């Protein structure tokens, strides 16, 4: 392991405990025993923290409880360059989720450069979908030609790249500053992806939602953003002629993931409850400093 990926045993232990705590809360809120994917949102945290959760067996045994915890696979990132750097140095077995605001001109490089990209959750225009489609196609073709050059049979699985999964991000709160497609325009974008983007697979819909709504929902009301996303999903399913269950909902973050699960979420994206507070963007580092004279 590179020295910059070293992690203090106390920090590793705390991360593993936090992840277990959140996973237990997810299971407790999940009364109907659905499959719920937990994304550990690692943006602005160093690669060493991701490796600790993905490969606990690699840690100093003093970081670990009596039995080695299971590997965590799904991690979420918001910034293209940071994701590229992390994907480069971390194991290819990690399933990366791009959940941040996506610029149209970054869609293609994102899909083309990150082989282990598992899902992009912030698609809110046909232009971004088309960029991802072009990038994924280019990646598939590049891997196929690399395989031809080697013409090795044993290399076959390398080209069996999945389609790139996507969520369409919906602006459920009506705030002008929020990204996301309007609920009324969501079905058209979903149809565009299904009909024109053969290298993409539409997994479902995603929302971030307004903080105020997640707070008022604490007083026993349903969160209006989550209601809106579910209703939008039901309409999209009807317009596309697919069962509702085929389109999942990605909703819920640290502050409101339990409520989101009660309202039907199939994927929660939890950052600060697992990793703690994020450093300011300008101070974040992918690799930790190696302090002179220390181990
Ligand atoms: C940062 C982020 C999260 C995680 O937020 P926390 O409040 O730290 O859990 C989830 N979803 C998106 C889209 C994010 O940008």
178-207 pLDDT tens trace: 889 999 999 999 999 999 999 999 999 999
Mean pLDDT of 83-92: 97
Query: How many Å apart are CA 187 and CA 210, to the nearest integer?
Result: 22
Provide the mean pLDDT of the chain: 91
Query: pTM of the prediction?
Result: 0.93
Alpha carbons 77 and 86: distance in angstroms, whole number: 10
Contacts of 96 (CB under 8 A, 6+ apart): 75, 76, 77, 83, 86, 87, 114, 116, 117, 118
Tokens 């994701």 locate to 83
Q: What's the pLDDT score for residue 150?
A: 73
Ligand 1, residues 250, 269, 273, 277: which to mutate, most atoms within 8 A of Cβ?
269
> What pLDDT band is residue 294 in, cutting at 50, 70 and 90?
very low
Q: How many CA atoms lie within 13 A of 205 on its CB side?
A: 33
pLDDT confidence tier of residue 85, bands split at 50, 70 and 90: very high
Averaged pLDDT, 32-54: 96
CATH 3.20.20.10 assigned to domain 2-283? The reply is yes
Amino acid 78: pLDDT? 98
Ligand 1 in contact with 99 (CB < 6 A)?
Answer: yes
Is any atom of ligand 1 closer than 6 Å to the C-beta of 271? yes
Q: Where are the domains of the chain?
A: 2-283
220-230 per-position pLDDT tens digit: 788 999 999 99
Comparing 38-42, 174-178, 259-263, 271-275, which segment has the lowest mean pLDDT? 174-178
| Average of per-residue pLDDT across 133-154 | 85
Ligand 1 site, residue 269, Cβ cutoff 6 A: yes
pLDDT level of residue 293 (50, 70, 90 thresholds): very low
Between 148 and 18, the more confident residue is 18
Which of these, 97, 34, 40, 77, lies nearest to 261 by C-alpha position?
34
Cβ of 173 less than 6 Å from ligand 1:
no
Atom nearest to 122 CA in ligand 1: 13
DSSP 211: H
In the predicted structure, residue 143 carries a pLDDT above the cut 80:
yes
Ligand 1 atom with least separation from CA of 121: 13
Token pair belonging to 227:
């209601």
239 CB contacts (<8 Å, ≥6 apart)?
187, 191
Atom of ligand 1 nearest to the CA of 99: 13
**Alpha helices by DSSP H, the chain:** 9-29, 47-54, 80-89, 104-113, 126-150, 186-196, 211-216, 224-240, 257-262, 272-275
The pLDDT > 70 percentage for the chain reads 91
For residue 74, pLDDT over 60 is answered with: yes
Q: 151-179 pLDDT, tens per residue? A: 655 555 555 578 999 999 999 998 888 88
The answer to whether the CB of 179 is under 6 A from ligand 1 is: no
**What is the spatial distance between Cα 49 and Cα 75, in angstroms, rounded to a whole number?**
11
The pLDDT of residue 60: 84
CA 160–ligand 1 middle distance (angstroms): 31
Of 61, 66, 53, 69, which Cα lies nearest the Cα of 15?
53
């Amino acid at each position: 392991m590179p020295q910059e990926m070293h992690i203090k045993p106390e920090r590793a232990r705390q991360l593993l405990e936090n992840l277990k705590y959140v996973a237990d809360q997810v299971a407790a809120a999940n009364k109907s025993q659905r499959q719920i994917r937990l994304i550990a949102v690692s943006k602005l945290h160093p690669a060493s923290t991701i490796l600790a959760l993905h490969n606990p067996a690699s840690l100093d045994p003093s970081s670990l409880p009596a039995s080695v915890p299971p590997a965590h696979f799904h991690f979420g990132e918001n910034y293209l360059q940071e994701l590229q750097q992390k994907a480069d140095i971390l194991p290819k077995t990690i399933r990366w989720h791009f959940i941040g605001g996506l610029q149209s001109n970054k869609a293609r490089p994102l899909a083309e450069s990150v082989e282990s990209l598992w899902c992009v959750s912030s698609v809110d225009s046909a232009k971004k979908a088309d960029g991802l489609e072009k990038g994924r196609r280019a990646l598939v073709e590049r891997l196929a030609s690399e395989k031809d050059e080697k013409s090795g049979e044993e290399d076959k699985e390398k080209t069996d790249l999945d389609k790139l999964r996507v969520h369409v991000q919906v602006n459920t709160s009506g705030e002008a500053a929020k990204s996301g497609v309007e609920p009324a325009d969501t079905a058209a974008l979903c149809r565009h992806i299904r009909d024109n983007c053969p290298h993409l697979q539409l997994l479902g819909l995603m929302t971030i939602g307004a903080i105020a709504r997640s707070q008022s929902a604490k007083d026993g009301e349903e969160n209006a953003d989550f209601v809106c996303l579910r209703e939008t999903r039901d309409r999209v399913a009807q317009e596309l002629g697919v069962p509702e269950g085929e389109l999942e909902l990605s909703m819920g973050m640290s502050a409101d993931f339990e409520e989101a699960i009660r309202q039907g979420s199939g994927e929660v994206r939890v950052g600060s409850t697992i990793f703690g507070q994020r450093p300011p963007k300008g101070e974040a580092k992918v690799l930790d400093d190696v302090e002179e004279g220390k181990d």
